[in-house]
Amino acid sequence: MTERAETSADSDLSLANEAETRRSADSSERAYNIIRKLLVEFKLKPGERINEVQLSRSLGVSRTPIREALNRLASEGFVSLTPNRGFFVRSLSTEGLLDLYELRSIIESAAFKLMCERAEDSEIDRLRQYWEAIVDGYRDQPPDIILAEDEGFHLLIAELSGNPELVGQLASINARIRFIRRIQIEHPSHDKAQITSHSAIVEAAVKRDAENGAKLLREHIEMTVSATQQALKDALLKVFAPDNGADLKRRRRARDA
């Protein structure tokens, strides 16, 4: 069932981020990317136990790189490890997602303030340029591109804060909520508001209006949260009831610690 992971998955996945520790095109790295993709696309379902042997067979490598990848994913919060029972897919319950968005909001607004204090004028201008370069065709891009551009925008703010730890944190959060953001982006209702938000944020940055910009960011992120809840329900429904979307009452999955 989880067999036959698409083998072309190792290339296009790491769109944007991960300012962390880098690796090469090892088996281990490849496994990490593929498994993470399986996770964010719900090919591996929330709450499910991960069978290392199956995975190693379907990826064509031994269990060692699989386990290394899973350990890494456990540190990043994608999966959890119960001692002699194995790795489990951590189900992002609704609250879990909201917690993540809240953390993101905290970090981003803090990053914005720091950027206002510290960044060079030329750097602020880079942010402006970045946004202006993509704003025109923004709505017309495919979802993956929109997502990458959006993440890039926010990551750039984090970078201009001058604190690499913030960048790392944000990148890690992004990876965990990427799947839901992609779903959201496909609800076209949101794009317009997103564009005006970003423009307003850039404007605040140019003025170095830390308070207002931070507030805009908070609102920008929190605005998406309600839509997120619906998107999450849709996603879970799609996962647990791929065809018959009828009896959604009985689907009481997504229970997590």
- Residues 16-75 touching DNA, rule: CB under 7 A, are 26-28, 49-54, 60-65, 67-68
Please state at what angle helix 191-207 crosses helix 121-135, rounded to 10 degrees: 160
Please check whether residue 205 is in contact with residue 127, taking contact to mean a CB–CB distance below 8 angstroms: yes
Q: Which of 41, 48, 52, 68 binds a second copy (CB under 8 A)?
A: 68
Residues in binding contact with a second copy, number by CB under 8 A? 36
Q: Please tell me whether residue 117 binds a second copy under the rule CB under 8 A.
A: no
By CB under 8 A, name the one of 23, 43, 208, 253 that touches a second copy. 23
Which residues in the 221-250 window bind a second copy by CB under 8 A? none
Q: Residues, the chain, total?
A: 257
CB 201 within 8 A of CB 209: no
242 conformational bin, left if phi > 0, alpha if psi -120 to 50, beta if neither: alpha
Interface with a second copy (CB under 8 A), residue from 168, 200, 240, 241: 168
Dihedral over Cα of 34, 66, 51, 81: its sign? negative
- Could you give the CA distance from residue 211 to residue 38 in angstroms, rounded to a whole number? 39
Query: Between residues 26 and 125, which has the closer beta carbon with respect to a second copy?
Result: 26
Q: Does 250 bind DNA (CB under 7 A)?
A: no
Considering only the stretches 16-24, 148-156, 220-228, 236-244, report the one whose residues sit in contact with a second copy under the rule CB under 8 A: 16-24
| Residue 249 phi, psi dihedral angles, 5° rounding | -65, -40
Q: Can you tell me which of 11, 21, 84, 244 binds DNA, judged by CB under 7 A?
A: 84
- Cα 169 to Cα 60, 108, 164, 182: the distances in Å are 32, 10, 9, 20
Closer to DNA by CB, 88 or 112: give it.
Answer: 88
Contact with a second copy (CB under 8 A) among 13, 15, 16, 110: 110
* 131 lies in the binding site for DNA (CB under 7 A): no
Q: Of 138, 217, 127, 229, whose CA–CA distance to 177 is shortest?
A: 229
Which of 220, 176, 128 minimizes the C-alpha distance to 17? 176
Contacts with a second copy by CB under 8 A lie at 20-24, 26, 64, 67-68, 71-72, 74-77, 79-84, 96, 99-100, 102-103, 106-107, 110, 114, 163-166, 168-169
Contacts with DNA by CB under 7 A lie at 26-28, 49-54, 60-65, 67-68, 81, 83-87
